[in-house]
Amino acid sequence: DAKTTQPPSMDCAEGRAANLPCNHSTISGNEYVYWYRQIHSQGPQYIIHGLKNNETNEMASLIITEDRKSSTLILPHATLRDTAVYYCIVRVAEWGGSNYKLTFGKGTLLTVNP
């Protein structure tokens, strides 16, 4: 799986949009970009994923650059409960065994301030 680079920490004001960047310059054509978050020692929570196109769900939006070498997770209206470590992961799309493993890096600690 391709490696990812994220800033170690970011701050955001409550009610504002939080934009979390991720670089994955070695991503392959068959690799998805996933975002998970972990709120203080709880189980990681899936947020969103995409391959090429931008994606949006009820939690967030994912913007992937045209060359797919970077992406941005957008939380449109951050709340205090969004304070967490956010992980950007790239993973092969093929089915099978160890491909299902999620390799978490250090992630970005997002702190939402009142």
Residues 11-40 that bind other proteins (CB under 8 A): 31-32
Q: Edge-to-edge strand order for the sheet containing 55-56?
A: 18-23, 70-75, 61-64, 55-56
One of 8, 29, 41, 67 touching other proteins (CB under 8 A): 41
- The interface region with other proteins, picked from 15-23, 64-72, 76-84, 91-99 by CB under 8 A, is 91-99
DSSP of 28-75 = -TTEEEEEEEE-TTSPPEEEEEESSS-EE-SS-EEEE-TTSSEEEEEE
Minimum CB separation of residue 45 from other proteins in Å reads 7
List contacts with other proteins (CB under 8 A): 31-32, 41-46, 49, 51, 91-106
